[in-house]
């Protein structure tokens, strides 16, 4: 059977499941909160144009107001100073957006310690159990943080010392970005970096190293618990915003059952 017909048959027969990894996009979608003097993005909102009324008797439509980095979204290399000569979000190679994904599950540790950081030894241990990281593919960091995503306060988890959310240690971020053939890093949190990463060396190391290496970031994923450690195919669909530094995206995984 031709490959794509086989795939469609498999989807119809539930031998391949389509898992939605996307957070719903609404005015309640949590957004990053930077401290002064930095500027912040806006909340997502709908502005109604008409709804079967005198402004449009038979049609309903809205303008949308959003930042590029709102909800489940892609960071393009040009988002960060280290990647400023890299591609914008309209220029991403499609083969990086339909690609294999593996899940590194640290949810047990992140539940116990909201500031938990993934280290190189954790990834080495994962590789010993699961095989090498996928060339041209994605590492998805499962922390269990998606359970908080419908509550902005718990999701951002900030106190007087700043946000406390799990992520990746600077040395591990450098190693994943520079010494592997990954396409990108996906996380469940509001950004690819840990909440405390403003104080790391360098600050925000996942942004610094991944985007500087021409790799991508993917945030606020959900349902990673429904993916196997290896074998899923990720389908990521950012809008081709010309000159854009990122874009909200619908993200699916294809999973063999
Ligand atoms: Mn972003």
Task: Tell me how crowded residue 155 is: count the other CB atoms within 10 A of its CB.
Answer: 23
Q: In angstroms, rounded to a whole number, what is the distance separating the alpha carbons of residues 218 and 97?
A: 11
DSSP count for the chain of H helices, then E strands: 7, 14
| pLDDT band (50, 70, 90) for residue 54 | very high
pLDDT of 34 higher than 90: yes
Give which of 123, 68, 116 is closest to 238, Cα–Cα: 68
* Strand spans (E) along 66-166: 73-75, 98-105, 117-118, 138-142, 158-159, 162-163
- Give mean pLDDT, residues 41-57: 98
> Counting Cβ atoms within 10 Å, is residue 104 exposed (0-12), middle (13-18) or buried (19+)?
buried
pLDDT of 126 higher than 90: yes
Distance 123 CA to ligand 1 centre (A): 23
Task: Tell me how crowded residue 108 is: count the other CB atoms within 10 A of its CB.
Answer: 10
- Percent of the chain exceeding pLDDT 90 equals 99
pLDDT in tens, 209-221: 999 999 999 999 9
pLDDT of 226 higher than 90: yes
Global pTM exceeds 0.75: yes
Distance 124 CA to ligand 1 centre (A): 27
pLDDT of residue 21: 98
pLDDT in tens, 167-187: 999 999 999 999 999 999 999
159 touches 196 (CB < 8 A): no
State yes or no: cis peptide before 37, omega within 30 of 0: yes
Give which of 256, 257, 246 is closest to 78, Cα–Cα: 246
Q: In angstroms, rounded to a whole number, what is the distance separating the alpha carbons of residues 168 and 210?
A: 12
- Give mean pLDDT, residues 126-151: 97
Q: Which domains does the chain have, with CATH numbers?
A: 2-41+67-256 (3.50.30.50)
pLDDT of 1 higher than 90: no
Average pLDDT, the chain: 97
Write phi, then psi, for 75 (nearest 5 degrees): -95, 120
- Give mean pLDDT, residues 232-255: 98
Active site residues: 79
Distance 68 CA to ligand 1 centre (A): 7
pLDDT of residue 176: 98
């Amino acid at each position: 059977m031709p490959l794509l017909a086989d795939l469609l048959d498999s989807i119809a027969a539930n031998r391949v499941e389509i898992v939605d990894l996307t957070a719903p996009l609404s005015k309640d979608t949590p957004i990053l909160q930077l401290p002064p003097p930095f500027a912040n993005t806006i909340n997502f909102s709908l502005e109604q144009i008409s709804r079967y009324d005198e402004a449009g008797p038979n049609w309903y439509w809205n303008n949308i107001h959003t930042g590029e980095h709102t909800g489940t979204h892609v960071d393009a290399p040009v988002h960060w100073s280290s990647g400023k000569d890299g591609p914008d979000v309209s220029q991403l190679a499609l083969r990086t957006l339909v690609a294999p994904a593996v899940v590194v599950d640290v949810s047990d540790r992140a539940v116990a310690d909201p500031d938990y950081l993934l280290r190189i030894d954790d990834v080495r241990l994962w590789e010993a159990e699961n095989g090498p990281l996928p060339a041209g593919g994605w590492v998805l960091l499962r922390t269990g943080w998606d359970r908080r995503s419908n509550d902005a306060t718990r999701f951002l988890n900030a106190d007087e010392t700043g946000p406390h959310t799990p992520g990746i240690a600077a040395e591990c971020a450098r190693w994943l970005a520079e010494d592997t053939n990954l396409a990108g890093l996906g996380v469940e949190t509001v950004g690819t970096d840990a909440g405390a990463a403003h104080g790391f060396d360098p600050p925000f190391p996942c942004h610094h190293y991944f985007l500087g290496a021409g790799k991508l970031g993917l945030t606020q994923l959900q349902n990673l618990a429904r993916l196997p450690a290896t074998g899923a195919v990720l389908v990521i669909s950012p809008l081709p915003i010309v000159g854009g530094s990122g874009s909200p995206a619908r993200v699916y995984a294809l999973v063999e059952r």
